[in-house]
Chain A
Amino acid sequence: MLEHILLSGLTVGAIYALIACGFTVVFAAMRIINFAHGEFVMAGGMFYACLTGAMHMPAISAFLLSLSLAGILAYVVYEFALGGVAPDNHITQIMVTLGVGVALKGLIEVLVGKDTMFAPPFTENGGAQLGQVFLSAQVLWIIFFLLLFLGAYYWLLRHTRFGGGMRAASMNHYAAVLMGISTKRVAATSFVIAGVVGAAAGSLMVPLTSMHYDNGMFLAIKGFAAAILGGLGSPAGALAGGLIIGLTESLAAGYISSVYKDAVALGLLLLVLLFRPQGLFGMALPQKF
């Protein structure tokens, strides 16, 4: 029993960690919480389900195409909606990202409809036996992609010139501008990375959970919970936060009640927001009003 609960917690946690990475990347570059992120996850999953289902594409190419579509979508959104908003106009930023999320949800509702979508796993067979529990191939894909993304993002930040610019922009916006870094380009790139990684999370989870056009907001809240638990802006924190939220949720579902597992995870987020808004591993934020 416990092994299975831990395994499902690990799987869900890995997906939450991927979603959390999207929040983290955008927050690092723009200091905003992207309220549309959940809809990118949902849209990615929907693209994958439609491409493999209605268009009979092979899983891997459907996955890559879904990621590219989400990337293009994210670029369009940045260029037309988010780009021109002043960095200190918080209410407008919140409303614009919320609006983008609502619009994306509506777009998928019109394009795909209100049916719950299912999709085949990436590979039919494969998987690994780990003691008493069996890890299916899809779970291994999820963990593989999560580690691949974290590695690539780390490499981008630490070992490329552009990544250095991204780190500078995240530390001090105006100093970065004065040093000749195009913060607009940093922001656009980060937004596209977030869209792509969100769509990847969506595509990877569809074979396990199915997807509905209404799921986006909940996925966003869970991913955000993971991101803030580990400290917004830190990818390693997102990984830890995702695993904590996933394990809490599946333990709650196993031992308390599966109906209230969402409420337990969200309550955890609320507690973190109230008592440690900088996250478990983050540094203290300056106190404002």
Chain B
Amino acid sequence: MSTSVDRYVAWALVLIFPVLAVFLPNDFYLSLLVYGMINSIAATGLCLMLGFAGQISLAQAAFFGIGAYTTALSMNRLHIGPLPAIFAGAVISMICGWLISRPLSRLNDHYLAMATLVVGSIMYILFANAAWLTGGLDPGISIGKHVVLGLDLSSMRGLFAVVWAALILNVFIAVNVASSRIGRSLRAIKMAPAAAACVGIDVVRAKAFVFALSAFLAGLAGGLYGLYSRSFNAGSFQIGYAIDLLMMVVIGSLSRVSGAIVGAFIITLLPVFFEHFEDYKTMIFGIAMVVIMKLMPMGMIEGLFSMASRIFCMRKG
């Protein structure tokens, strides 16, 4: 599957969603669809980072939180409209990502994973304890009713339109980055950073770019999550969410935008299809992560696809 196929599949997925939204029987399914789309945006950000640049980040939940809190606070305290507020959340998250990426780009692999884990933990401690700003764990923070361009954002249909627009932006950015000069340099960095530097790629700048971009997408998803849940607390931005995002990418594909979207939907829908899933979720995710990474290090869906295409080609030959 080349990047152009990935591009078509990703766009096809995006175009299916409004059709689905029309046919879904009630608001419960529609809200699942919206939540899946929000997760898709955050997962795409991680996919660009992990699959393209080979940089592991466990701080995505923190950027998600920065987006959510910026959106909520600028709506509640500065009385900005929802769309500029979401955009502000994404941009502030991107700035934080860029600032963090500069020093972190010296670290690689294990050290980077640990450092991003620490950044995520520090941000969670701040979210949970700076109650004067964020509302902490209890009571948390709420967003009131808002109407944008005639769409009531407290209704699922209104929210769907906004999230869908954000998803289009997300896929547009991601597939174009993937097949651009910068996407190729990121893949070069993943394979051999020293060789990439030798052919003239500015490794530090490219890493900072992908870090900031994935923080932007996580912040965008976070702002949408704020509007979606309307009332949330710091508990949503724990390391557990970063692991969920990692699972989405691992289930889908480590290097395909479409795979990240499919993975996000699978992880979002699992608790609905399996009763009592939440009780065993942590254990199942952990085992699945180990098994998939050992057997199909490119991601489960992509692994299955490549296995299927190999069998198909063998028959043809």
Q: Beyond A102-B285, A217-B239, is A274–B103 a contact (Cβ under 8 Å)?
A: yes
Assess whether A105 is in contact with B286, with CB atoms less than 8 Å apart: yes
> Is B280 within 8 A of A106, CB to CB?
yes
Check A269 against B118 for contact (C-beta < 8 Å): yes
In the complex, are the beta carbons of B108 and A221 less than 8 A apart?
A: no
Contact status B114-A103, CB under 8 Å: no
Is the C-beta of A270 less than 8 angstroms from some C-beta in chain B?
A: yes
Closest to B105 in A: A289
- Nearest A residue to B290 via CB reads A99
How many Å from the CB of A86 to the closest CB on chain B? 10
Question: Which of B197, B203, B282 is close to A105, meaning CB atoms less than 8 Å apart?
Answer: B282
Q: Is A143 an interface residue (CB 8 A)?
A: no
Bound Cα distance from A102 to B297, whole angstroms: 18
Q: Complex: how many Å from CA A94 to CA B290?
A: 10
Q: Which of A96-148 contact B (CB under 8 A)?
A: 96, 98-107, 109-110
Q: How far is the CB of A63 from chain B (nearest CB, A)?
A: 26
Decide: A273 near B286, CB < 8 A? Known: A92-B297, A218-B121, A263-B126: no
Q: Is A84 interfacial (CB 8 A cutoff)?
A: yes
- Which residues of the other chain, A, contact B204 by a CB distance below 8 angstroms? 289
Known: A84-B294, A99-B287, A277-B111. A270 touches B282 (CB 8 A): no
Chain B residues whose C-beta falls within 8 Å of the C-beta of A101 in the assembled complex? 286
- Which residues of B in the span 88-140 have a Cβ within 8 Å of any Cβ on A? 103-104, 106-111, 113-115, 117-119, 121-122, 125-126, 129
Bound together, the chains give a CA A35 to CA B286 distance in angstroms of 12
- CB closest chain-A residue, reference B243: A102
Contact A100 B118 (CB under 8 A): no
A260 CA to B128 CA in the complex, in Å? 10
Task: Give chain B interface residues in 67-83, CB to chain A under 8 Å.
Answer: none
Interface flag for A33 (CB, 8 Å)? yes
**A33 to B118, alpha carbons, bound, how many Å?**
14
A32 within 8 A of B: yes
**Residues of A with C-beta under 8 A to B110:** 32-33, 90, 93-94
* Contact between chains at B293 and A259 (CB < 8 Å): no
User: Smallest CB–CB gap between A39 and chain B, Å?
Assistant: 9
B113 and A99 contacting across the interface, CB-CB below 8 Å? no
Is the C-beta of A161 less than 8 angstroms from some C-beta in chain B?
no
Q: With A and B bound together, what is the CA distance between A224 and B116 in angstroms?
A: 13
Query: Most B CB atoms within 10 A — which of A91, A218, A228, A288?
Result: A91
- Name the A residues within 8 Å of B145 (CB-CB): none
Distance of A84 Cα from B119 Cα, bound (Å): 31
Decide if B193 is an interface residue (CB 8 Å cutoff).
yes
When distances are taken between beta carbons in the complex, the residues of chain A under 8 Å from B126 are 263
Q: Is B281 interfacial (CB 8 A cutoff)?
A: yes
B residues 185-216 touching A (CB-CB < 8 Å): 189, 193-194, 196-197, 203-204
Chain A nearest CB, measured from B188 CB (Å): 11
Does A171 lie at the interface of the complex (its beta carbon under 8 Å from any beta carbon of B)? no
Q: State which residues 160-186 of A face B: CB under 8 Å.
A: none
Given the known inter-chain contacts A85-B294, A221-B117, please indicate yes or no for A289 contacting B129, CB distance below 8 A: no
Q: How many Å from the CB of A91 to the closest CB on chain B? A: 6
Residues of B within 8 A of A106 (CB): 280-286
Of the candidates A33, A98, A274, which one forms a contact with B289 in the assembled complex, judged by CB atoms under 8 Å apart? A98
Q: Which B residues fall within an 8 A CB radius of A?
A: 50, 54, 56, 103-104, 106-111, 113-115, 117-119, 121-122, 125-126, 129, 189, 193-194, 196-197, 203-204, 239, 243, 246, 250, 279-290, 293-294, 297
Ordered by A's residue number, 29 sampled pairs between the chains whose C-beta atoms are within 8 Å are: A35-B113, A35-B114, A35-B117, A92-B294, A92-B297, A94-B113, A95-B293, A96-B289, A96-B293, A98-B113, A99-B293, A100-B286, A100-B290, A102-B243, A102-B286, A103-B283, A103-B287, A103-B290, A106-B281, A106-B282, A106-B284, A110-B283, A221-B114, A263-B126, A266-B125, A269-B118, A270-B119, A270-B122, A274-B104
Question: Top 8 nearest A-B pairs by Cβ distance?
Answer: A103-B286, A106-B283, A99-B289, A106-B282, A102-B286, A289-B193, A90-B109, A99-B290
Task: Using A99-B290, A260-B125 as known contacts, list a sample of 12 further A-B pairs with CB atoms less than 8 Å apart, ordered by residue number in A.
Answer: A35-B117, A92-B294, A94-B110, A94-B113, A105-B283, A106-B284, A110-B280, A221-B121, A259-B129, A262-B121, A263-B122, A289-B193
